[in-house]
Structure 1
Amino acid sequence: MGQCVTKCKNPTSSLGSKSGEKDSGKSHAKKGGGGGGAGSGHKEDSKFPADVNGTKSPEVTVETSVAPVLLGEVRREEPEPEGEGLSIARIEEMFLLYKDEHEDAILEEGMEKFCNDLHVDPAEFKVLVLAWKFQAATMCKFTRKEFVEGCKAIQADSLRGICLRFSALMEESRGEESFKDLYRFTFQFGLDADEGQRSLQRAIAIALWRLVFTLDTPPVLERWLDFLSENPCGVRGISRDTWNMFLNFTQSIGPDLSNYSEDEAWPSLFDSFVEWETERRRRERAEQEERRRREEEQEEAGLEHQEAETEPTTDCMEASAWGGL
């Protein structure tokens, strides 16, 4: 975009060729004036407006023929505003502030600066939502097309405009269909396209699950992530099917997992999770029962000890009473 604007505002090569045409026109006018022929003179007068020395008329004719061409070039190459005051030129200029020196994209360093200027953390949910609206193919990267089309999609052509849109974008992400789209996008966003990955690394999947559920956290999420972290089944990667089905799992299975059925078409990893979680809860209940039993025993032992301590005191009082008599 920067090159296009420069070319339109300073078309030196075009003006150079047009300058040559002017010189040629001047020379031709002088020769025509010196010829003195009636036919020739009438032809020159009809083609060019009369002038004192005949040298300025060709300039006027050439300039009037050049101007529409140059204006036409500006109209073609200068981006027109879209929507209500949206400027593609300003979007392109904003992109150039963060663009990498060697690649036509905003990469990790530029992304960090971009987020700092937006006053957001690169690992924040807002940035994920922005990447979703930009339809970014890779983490920590915005191509020129993604950036421009994304800004057009959210109707913002400045940093302030993007910041003002965050509130509406957060609200949009809460919608059922919008969140489903955001959720599915997050899986693809987390893949390493250069490596040709087809499943998410376990650690990245855990981080992205926490991130995508920032606003509405399912009750079972932390137990699921603990299960993956402890890795009882040797989980190394999360497939697209497992990722997508987990959203259905959180929406259809209750927090106590009582309505889960292995007969349904759930991924096998979910069967392992339910078994693991059921066993964990059984152990937790057993531990609670054991703690309660010990507390009751300690309480009973404490009462007996108190009774044992109070009996001698009573005997002493009785003895002192008899002694007084």
Structure 2
Amino acid sequence: MGQCVTKCKNPTSSLGSKSGDKESGSKSHHKKSGGAGGGHKEEHSPPNSKVASDLLNGTKALEVTVETSVIPALTGELHKDEFLDGDGLSMLRIEELFSCYKDEQEDAILEEGMEKFCNDLCVDPAEFRVLVLAWKFQAATMCKFTRKEFVDGCKAIKADSLEGICSRFSCMLLEAQGEENFKDLYRFTFQFGLDAEEGQRSLQRDIAIALWRLVFTQDTPAILERWLDFLSENPSGIRGISRDTWNMFLNFTQAIGPDLSNYSEDEAWPSLFDTFVEWELERRKKEQEKAPMAKEEEGRCTETECSPTTDRLETEGSRGSQTWGGH
């Protein structure tokens, strides 16, 4: 965690090289030509003679370094004459931030850029905060932010820099706890897990299990782990999770108690829920039957193990008395 905190305080340490490549390239060109050419360059470029002279004596070098290392999208500093909207956001900085991570071939942040983006935000790509951020950005696909999703998302959370996004996490997590907001996040998570390019209409079982565990990070239902165990132990009978099953499970956790006593097959639950309740009740019945047997077995072990120990201690004690008495 210490390393992450340090990175958040100085986000430019890992992103500086990927921002203003064009600017740094042009400035370094002037620096190089001034240092190498001396008087020769002054004859061919009279307007730049002062710049070249300053670079040679070292008075201009520090200024060039500072200019090329500053990335307003990361530090929160403004460009000259930069326009801010009504919320104090800079569209230019948002666009610059997107460009830091976007793919070279596609106008979107893909898996590699997303990993770097999460790393600079000091979050794990697989943690709940990233899911909430994707929800606020209304991302259509996992491991991908289109330009529109990124720009609109930054405007929605009112942040135009890494520091700004980091500062919004606590508010976003609190917002996700609201009943209606969580319902929206929950339904978003199903769509988020689908492979849009493959035209999927149901979640793969393993992905559904991972997403269920993730989306319930802040408030875990008592029945969740038993439900996930049921899905894991019945892989052949459960190939995918439909949207209806996903949505109804939230209702199930809210309406049915952990003892499942108020569950009724006559209600309009998905058939998979009927199978789960039957499986879970049978499992509990077997556990209850095993409990007395285990207790009885434990009592027998205690009885058989303690007696020899007592006899052995008494025997050793008598031997010890005889020995001491001999002396």
- The TM-score, its normalising length taken from structure 1, stands at 0.69
Q: Which residue of 2 aligns with 1:167?
A: 170
Q: Which residue of 2 aligns with 1:15?
A: none
User: Which of 269, 274, 288 is equivalent to 1:271?
Assistant: 274
User: In the alignment, does 2:146 pair up with 1:143?
Assistant: yes
Q: Confirm or deny: 8 A CA contact 1:107 1:142 kept in the other structure.
A: yes
Deviation at 1:295, TM superposition (A): 2.0
Q: Which residue of 2 aligns with 1:101?
A: 104
Which residue identity lines up with residue 287 of structure 1 in the other structure?
Answer: K
Aligned length: 239
Q: Which residue of 1 aligns with 2:244?
A: 241
Deviation at 1:81, TM superposition (A): 2.0
User: Which of 215, 227, 230 is equivalent to 2:230?
Assistant: 227
Structure 2 counterparts to residues 235-314 of structure 1, below 5 A: 235-301=238-304
Structure 1 unaligned blocks of 5 or more: 7-77, 317-325
Q: For 1:35-84, what per-residue CA distance to the aligned partner results, in whole angstroms no more than 9, with x for missing partners?
A: xxxxxxxxxxxxxxxxxxxxxxxxxxxxxxxxxxxxxxxxxxx9842233
Q: Which residue of 2 aligns with 1:215?
A: 218
Q: Which residue of 2 aligns with 1:89?
A: 92
Deviation at 1:188, TM superposition (A): 0.1
Which residue identity lines up with residue 108 of structure 2 in the other structure?
Answer: A
User: In the alignment, does 2:191 pair up with 1:188?
Assistant: yes
C-alpha distance in 1, partners of 2:233/2:288?
Answer: 20
Q: 1:265 to 1:301 in 2, by over 3 A?
A: same
Deviation at 1:309, TM superposition (A): 8.4
Bigger mean CA offset, 162-171 vs 275-284? 275-284
Q: 1:79 to 1:102 in 2, by over 3 A?
A: farther
Which residue identity lines up with residue 133 of structure 1 in the other structure?
Answer: K
C-alpha distance in 1, partners of 2:133/2:82?
Answer: 24
Q: Per the alignment, in what secondary structure is the counterpart of residue 237 of structure 2?
A: coil
Which structure's CA Rg is the greater one? 1
Q: 1:260 to 1:79 in 2, by over 3 A?
A: farther
Q: Confirm or deny: 8 A CA contact 1:139 1:189 kept in the other structure.
A: yes
C-alpha distance in 2, partners of 1:168/1:141?
Answer: 23
C-alpha distance in 1, partners of 2:124/2:153?
Answer: 19
Deviation at 1:259, TM superposition (A): 1.0
Q: 1:182 to 1:79 in 2, by over 3 A?
A: farther
User: In the alignment, does 2:133 pair up with 1:130?
Assistant: yes
Q: 1:79 to 1:249 in 2, by over 3 A?
A: farther
Deviation at 1:301, TM superposition (A): 4.6
Q: Per the alignment, in what secondary structure is the counterpart of residue 238 of structure 1?
A: strand
Sequence identity (%)? 73
Q: Confirm or deny: 8 A CA contact 1:80 1:87 kept in the other structure.
A: yes
Which residue identity lines up with residue 105 of structure 1 in the other structure?
Answer: A
Q: 1:205 to 1:232 in 2, by over 3 A?
A: closer
- The TM-score, its normalising length taken from structure 2, stands at 0.68
Structure 2 counterparts to residues 28-47 of structure 1, below 5 A: none
Using CA pairs below 8 Å that are at least 6 residues apart, which structure has the higher relative contact order?
Answer: 2
C-alpha distance in 2, partners of 1:212/1:85?
Answer: 32
Deviation at 1:233, TM superposition (A): 6.0
Which residue identity lines up with residue 137 of structure 1 in the other structure?
Answer: A
Q: Confirm or deny: 8 A CA contact 1:233 1:272 kept in the other structure.
A: no
Q: Confirm or deny: 8 A CA contact 1:100 1:107 kept in the other structure.
A: yes
Structure 2 unaligned blocks of 5 or more: 1-18, 24-80, 319-327
C-alpha distance in 2, partners of 1:89/1:210?
Answer: 37
Q: For 1:190-236, what per-residue CA distance to the aligned partner results, in whole angstroms no more than 9, with x for missing partners?
A: 00000000000000000000100111111111110010001166101
Deviation at 1:305, TM superposition (A): 6.3
